[in-house]
Structure 1
Amino acid sequence: MLEHGGRLRGAVQKYGIDEADWLDLSSGISPWSWPIPAIPTQAWARLPETDDGLEAAACAYYGAPDVLPVAGSQAAIQALPRLRQAGKVGVLSPCYAEHAEAWRSSGFLVREVLEHEVERFIDSLDVLVVVNPNNPTGLSLTPERLLDWHARLAQRGAWLVVDEAFMDNTPDASLAAHSQRPGLIVLRSFGKFFGLAGVRLGFVLAESRFLKVLARQIGPWSVSGPTRILGQACLADVEGHRLQRERTAQASQRLVELLSRHGLTPHGGCALFQWLVTPLAAELHEFCARRGILLRIFLHNSSLRFGLPREEADWQRLELALSEFAGGAHDH
C-alpha cells in the first residue's frame, strides 16, 4: 500500500504521544467537518436506491450534466484502467501517487511528466492524468489549457482524466460543465472540502454512456444508504459552502504568512494545504513530530505538506514549533 497522510496511529506508536495530544496537519482535509444530519433507520435497513436525489444534488453542486457516485474518488481511480486496453499513460507529476500506481499495476506503460513536457508527449499518450489543483504542489492549470489538451487527445480516442479533489474552493476553474465531452473524465472528492473523509464518497463526471460502463465495472450499491443521505444534505447546503470557502481560504492564507515569517515560504498550495520544498524537510518533520505535530513528508523531493490548523491553540502550537526550529533548536 502506498503512503498517505493521516496515519496518526503509526505516529502515536513511534513517538509515544497519545492520539488526543496530536495536532494532525498531515492530510489536506478541511478541519471543519459538516454537521451530520439525522439518518433515518430506513437508510440503514434497506439497500440504497439511486433515485433518492443524491445524483441531482451533485449535478447541481458541481454544475455537471451527469454524475456517478462512488465510494471515494479512489474507487474510480482503481476502476478506470479496467476500461481500456493496454497503452501509454502520462501522469502530470509529482502528484497523488495512486494515479500512476493504478495504471502501472494494470499493465500500462506509465510516464510521469512535468508540466512543460506535456506538449512533447501528448500526441503519443492514450491517457493523460492531471490533478488540478495539484496535490501536493498546488499547481493550478486553466480550463482553457486543459480543454486544449483534451481536444488533442480526443481526436485519437485518448482520454484526459482530471482529478479535481481540491477544486471546491475554486469552482470556476472546474471542467465539470464540459464533462459530457467524450474522453473527458472528471473526478471529484467529497470528503476533503466537507471535512468528512471517513464517509468515503466521490463522484465521476463524464458522458452518460461512459458512466454506465463504469457503473457496471464498479457494481451495484457501492455507496451506502446513510452516505447517500449525508452527501445529499451537504451538497445542498449553499450557505454552508460559502462559509467553508471563506474560512478555509483565510486559514490557508494565514498558513502562508506563518510559514513565510519563519523563512519557510511555501512553493505552492491551495485552500486546504500549503507545500514547502526544503532540504530540511526530514528534520522539520521529525522536529514537529517529537512535539506532537504531524506533517506529511515527501522524501523523494524533500518537501512537506501542511494542512490547516483549526483552533487558535493549534496555530499557536505550530507557531511555537516553527520559532524553535528557526531559532536553531534542531541539529544541522
Structure 2
Amino acid sequence: MTYATQLSKSDRIGTDMRASVLDPGGALTVQRRPVPAPRPGDVLVRVSAVGVCGSDAHYQRHGRIGDHVVTAPIVLGHEASGRIVAVGAGVDERRVGERVSIEPQRPDPDTAESRRGDYNLCPHVRFFATPPVDGALAEYVTIGSAFAHPVPDSVSDEAAALFEPLSVGIAAVGKAGVGIGGSVLIAGAGPIGLLCAQVARVAGATRIAVTDISAERRCLATTFGATETPAPDHAAAGNGFDAFIDASGAPSAVRAGIAHVRPGGTVVLVGMGADVMELPVSLIQNREIMLTGVYRYANTWPVARELVTSGRVDLDGMVTARFDLDDVDAALSADRIPGAVKAVVYPGGVPDSLNDRTWSGVR
C-alpha cells in the first residue's frame, strides 16, 4: 500500500481548522482559526507532517532569533508536507489531490535577488514561522503553487517534510564545493550536520569527519555518512580539510574548525548561534580561506527529491519521535531527549499505521 493510500483523508474542507499557536510569553495553545483561502497562484494544502526545527524551539524558549522577535501570536513550523485540496485562480485544477513537499517561502519575484535566481536572499521574502508570518503547525496552509513540489508515493509524508532541512544540507555542501575525493569537517551532529554528511557522501567526498560534544551523536553520525567522528578536542588529529561546515553555531567550534582547513579551502557557516564572534583573521588571510554563510536555500527541491527517491539520502531514518498537534510543547522539547534526532508533528493526528511507533523517548 502506498503512503498516498495509507494517509489519505476526506477531501471535505471545513470553514475552520486547528492550529498550534505560540504566544509571545512562550505558551502554546491549540486554537480554532479560519481555513485560509488560496489566493490567485496559490494552492491550499492539508498538512500531513511537520518536522520540528531547532528554530521552532528557540522561538519558544527565547522569543527571538536575531532581529526576528515574537511580538504577537504565531504558528510555528516550516518543514512540511501535505496534499493539495484546493487551488486559487490560475492554477491547474488537476493539481488537487497531489501530494507535495512545501518550500516554505514567498519571495518577491520582482527583486534583483529573485530575478537572478537567489530568491532566498530576497529582502521581502515571507518565510513560514518567521515573525510575523505563520507556519505549518496547523491543519491547512496556503503556498504559491510553484513552491508546492510534487512527491511520488514512494516518499513518506515524513521524508517529504524533511526535504526542507535536506535543502539546507544541499545548499551548504554546494557552497563548500566538496566533490569527488574531497574532504570535509562538519561541526555538530544534529539534523543539519547529519544531512550535510549524507549530501557530502553523495557528492563524492571520501573523508567526512563529524564532530560533536555528544559521544552518542558522534556514534550516530557514522550511520549517516561520517567516515570518522573525532571528539571536538581531538579534531586536530585530522588537519588539511578541503572544507569546514559549521552546523553547531558554537563560536569555539567555528574557530577550531577554521584551523583545520587547508590553504585555499572553504568555510561555510550554517549553525545559528552567537550573532557576533571572534575569528582568526590572520589565519583566514594567510591561508586565503573562503568564508561564507548559508541563508536557507534556492532551487534545491528537485535535487532533494532525486536524492531521496533514489535512496542516496535517508530521511525516514532520522525521525525519532511523532506527536499530535495537542503535544507540540513536548515535540519542541524532544531535542533534549538523549539520542533524539528529529521530531515530527501530525496536525491531523498520527496515522494509525504509525501509532505503535509514537513515543516519549527514542525509537
Q: TM-score, normalised by structure 1?
A: 0.38
Say which structure is richer in strand. 2
**Which one has more relative contact order, counting CA pairs under 8 Å at least 6 apart?**
1
Q: TM-score, normalised by structure 2?
A: 0.35
